[in-house]
Structure 1
Amino acid sequence: MKYTFFYSWQNDLPGKQHRYFLEKVINVAIKKLKDKDIVFDLEKDTRGNVGSPDIIDTILQKINNCSIFVCDLSAEHVPNANVLFELGYAVNRLGWDRIICLFDREIISPEEMPFDIKKNRLTAFSPTDSGEIKRLSKILENNAVSLVKDGKINDPFLEEEKSYIDKIILDVLYSFSEIFYGTKSLKEISKLLECSTLPEVEQSFPSYLALNDYSSNLELAREKLKEFSVSSLFPSEWRNTIISLIKWIRSYQLFVSEIPRTNPFPFLIENEIPGIKVVSGKEINPNNPALSKLVLQKLDNDKYEVITSTEYAAREAVLLSKNIKIKSAMKDEFCDYVKGIKAIANHWLLITGGEFLLSQDFYVLGRKNH
């Protein structure tokens, strides 16, 4: 997962010794954490946006979504009211374990702090002391490592919701990785996401890999968009990712559809795939999605096993048991769709910690690939 520091800063003290000094401390800690494969970002309040009608809601949402709250309590006699308000909200939402309170020892002492603050852990600093940035950043780094290691900043609810989006993206990437590399696994998906230039696809491949219209994924994405739109618990970038996914799936559905179209069907239809049989998933199990098709591989004893599933709008899924090949004139357009889902996936990984969560509700881990 990707974590965040929320920084509540003083706006009535010299920025060089406080706001920007502590911002540098946090950024140094973030860099050190990245070296340990722990990804943090810095979020700040938006007090500078004077006149914004939803300024408080924006700040509170950022605090809700942050992993660790860092505040500067430096002030003569009584800390800044804005900082105290944000701290109070953070205590209620996050708990003291995920809060780091800093104060300039040359301006205020712990004894001058409100009682409910001074009884908790406070960290003094002096912006004029040499080596202070290194010392403070190490404190933040150690706290972050400890919280991550102890599982205190992993939100099970957000992780569960993230796994649904991961599932939508992975379903598409698994198919494309098999088209380009001949097999599907997380290793091939990583290769696909990291490549700067897509491999050439000259060979034919099973049609069920490319003709999936991801109808149930589209339905799931729309459900999640509704959830994310009515709750402040989810970062706005999550909603943006869902919207991008919905647009991509709808466009891809038109691209691979056999319905009358202005553009030609993008694939050449070739031979039957030996030993492959395609049946309606709905007929096998009424709980399966309406358009689901099960792809079966014939075994030696004349029985079949399910090797994958796909979704296909045509009632008679004749094409799904055949190999197909991308028409030369359509390769660029096909690759544009692959690049599109790659961009969505890479951005999603960037904002959610750089890894996919494989929920056992969706995937049977350790199952042999077909």
Structure 2
Amino acid sequence: MINTVFYSWQSDLPNNTNRGFLESCLKKAISNLKEVGDFSIELAIDRDTKDEPGMPDIIDTVFKKINRAKIFIADISIINSGSSDRKTPNPNVLIELGYAAKSIGWDKVICIYNKDYGSIEDLPFDIRQRRPIIYSLKEGNKDDAKEYISKSIASTIKSLNANGSLFDIINDFHKVQVDTEILTIINHLRKIIFGYNQELSFELISEFLNIEDIAIVEVLTANRFIGFQVFKRWEVNEKKLQDIVNKVISYHSHGKETATIIIQLMQWTVAFDSFNQLRKNPDLFLQIENSPSHFYAVEGKAFNERNSEFPDRFILLKRLNNEKSQVSDFGDFIETQKIEGLIFSYKLNPKYIENYCKHIRAFISITEKWLDHTNGEFIIDNAKMFEIK
């Protein structure tokens, strides 16, 4: 997992004394940390709209990147030392600094100040009391200054990591739980889109999350499904997300946005579950064939009679030969009519294709919002992913 250090720079001062010079110091600090035996965190430098395609909304992009950063570093050097007006650092840097202080906390903020362009007393009081790293290239050797700055940055990061401040264990724990639910839902939906012939992989997850609406419509129009693919209930996922929401709300450090996105996921499971129910849309899927000979479904109780956590669980098995079968899918089913048709073949009623596509798109959009909010990647709990109980 790559953890970002967001670098808030300014171009008002010479590149070789500030922006470029400080970035080289930061790279050296990260390089030095990699050489420390007990420090195993991978860090990368991020800034403004770096690596963002097209023409992104700059403010929104920067704020999202700050939200995801583990460390925020700001060049707060005075940019108007020759002016008779009030001395100030770069205004954009100050905006980003204020946002970072609120978003990730002052303890994860490192300010750097070049005193060649102004006295430390020129800084606003609330910033100078944060004990910035102060350097001068006029009073000493540039290499010495670089060594001092890089060591100061590395020391701060090591201290944060050592005392547990660099990572929020509770936040990370809840992220793993949400990621597991999202990946479980993706695992079910991708079987509708891609069928049972492809194994779940990061490449397939990426393909699913990047699929266009026109491709979804084409699949839903052309494909034939067995009941097991499309008759699943989503109450188990809803309940798990509800439990996570309750914990997140009680843990105040998460913030409103985290809880909001999880609630949106939970609401999606409720809406999609309702859309699929017979009482809501009894003709959603139209039966076209009898059962395919190579699939059969069994109750989960056949594998574990004591399992009370998933009383409505069924397992889909694919016959390999007369003696062996392999698990192809699992899911929860309640409606008797659907249970009786788990291995029959169906097609999606054309009048529902557009709405079905909208439900899938809504889930993908919420997932993208979650990834934007949580460092752009999934954290997988390998011990529990897709466990069949």
Q: Is the 8 Å Cα contact of residues 178 and 184 (structure 1) preserved in structure 2?
A: no
Q: 1: distance between equivalents of 2:132 and 2:242?
A: 44
How much does 1:212 deviate?
1.6
Relative distance call for 1:154 and 1:265 in structure 2 (3 A) is farther
1:198 and 2:209 matched: no
8 Å CA contact retained: 1:70, 1:99: yes
Select the residue among 244, 263, 266 that pairs with 2:264. 244
Change beyond 3 A, Cα 1:119–1:253: closer
In structure 2, the CA distance between the partners of 1:67 and 1:296, relative to structure 1 (3 Å rule), is same
Selected match of 1:189 from 198, 201, 205: 205
1:253 to 2:310 alignment: no
2:47 to 7, 24, 30: 30
Q: Against the structure 1 CA distance between its residues 243 and 364, is the aligned structure 2 distance closer, same or farther, given a 3 Å change threshold?
A: closer
> Is structure 2 residue 119 aligned with structure 1 residue 108?
yes
Identity %: 18
Residues in 1 aligned to 2:356 and 2:264: alpha-carbon distance in whole angstroms: 17
Contact 2:314 2:332 (8 Å CA) reproduced: yes
CA 1:118–1:222: 2 relative to 1, 3 Å:
closer
Correspondent of 2:250 among 198, 208, 230: 230
Cα RMSD of the aligned pairs, angstroms, is: 4.9
The Cα of 1:301 is off from its aligned counterpart by 4.1
Aligned runs of 1:166-185 on 2, under 5 Å? 166-182=179-195, 183-185=198-200
Distance 1:323 1:143 in 2: 62
Hey, what's the Cα distance between the residues in 2 that align with 1:222 and 1:347? 18
> Is residue 281–residue 288 contact of structure 1 (8 Å, CA) maintained in 2?
no
Q: CA deviation at 1:362?
A: 2.6
SS at match of 2:321: coil
What pairs with 1:1-370 in structure 2 (closer than 5 Å)?
3=4, 5=6, 29-31=46-48, 34=51, 42=62, 67-70=70-73, 98-105=108-115, 106-108=117-119, 122-124=133-135, 153-182=166-195, 183-186=198-201, 187-196=203-212, 197-199=214-216, 200-201=218-219, 202-258=222-278, 260-261=279-280, 263-269=281-287, 270-282=289-301, 284=304, 285-314=306-335, 317-363=339-385
Quick check: 1:4–1:41 contact (8 Å CA) kept in 2? Answer: no
| Secondary structure at 1:102 match in 2 | strand
Shift of the alpha carbon at 1:308?
Answer: 2.0
Contact kept, 8 Å, 2:3 with 2:70, in 1: the verdict is no
Give, as a single letter, the amino acid of the residue that structure 2 aligns with 1:30.
R
What letter corresponds to residue 355 of structure 2 in structure 1? E
User: Displacement of 1:30 after TM fit?
Assistant: 1.0
2:7–2:46 contact (8 Å) kept in structure 1: no
What is the rounded CA distance, in whole Å, between the counterparts of 1:2 and 1:333 in structure 2? 38
CA distance change for structure 1 residues 2 and 240 in 2, over 3 Å: closer, same or farther? farther
CA contact (8 A) 2:233 2:333 kept: yes
Closer, same or farther: CA 195–306 of 1 in aligned 2, 3 Å: closer
Deviation sequence 1:273-314 (CA, Å, 0-9, x none) = 323222222463414412221222234243444332111122
Residue pair 1:5, 1:41 contacting (<8 A) in 2 also: no
Structure 2: where are the runs of 5+ without partners? Answer: 24-44, 53-59, 79-97, 138-144
- Contact 1:175/1:184 (8 A) holds in 2: no
Aligned length: 304
Answer whether contact 1:74 1:108 (CA < 8 A) is retained: no
Alpha-carbon separation, structure 2, partners of 1:313 and 1:364: 20
C-alpha distance in 2 between matches for 1:212 and 1:308: 11
- Secondary structure, counterpart of 1:272 in structure 2: coil
Tell me which residue corresponds to 2:33.
none
Q: Describe the SS at the equivalent of 2:385.
A: coil
TM-score under structure 2 normalisation? 0.62
Per-residue deviation at 1:318? 1.5
Pick closer, same or farther for the CA change 1:43–1:6 going to 2, 3 Å. farther
**Structure 1 unaligned runs (5+)?**
8-15, 45-61, 76-85, 127-134, 366-370
Deviation at 1:334, TM superposition (A): 0.9
- Please say if residues 30 and 41 of structure 1, whose CA atoms lie closer than 8 Å, have aligned partners that are also in contact: no
Cα deviation, 1:111-130, whole Å, max 9, x if unaligned, reads x9x9xx9998714479xxxx
How far apart are residue 253 of structure 1 and its match?
0.8
CA 1:94/1:320 → structure 2, altered by over 3 Å: closer, same or farther?
Answer: farther
SS of aligned partner of 2:263: helix
TM-score (norm 1): 0.64
Q: Is residue 2–residue 352 contact of structure 1 (8 Å, CA) maintained in 2?
A: no
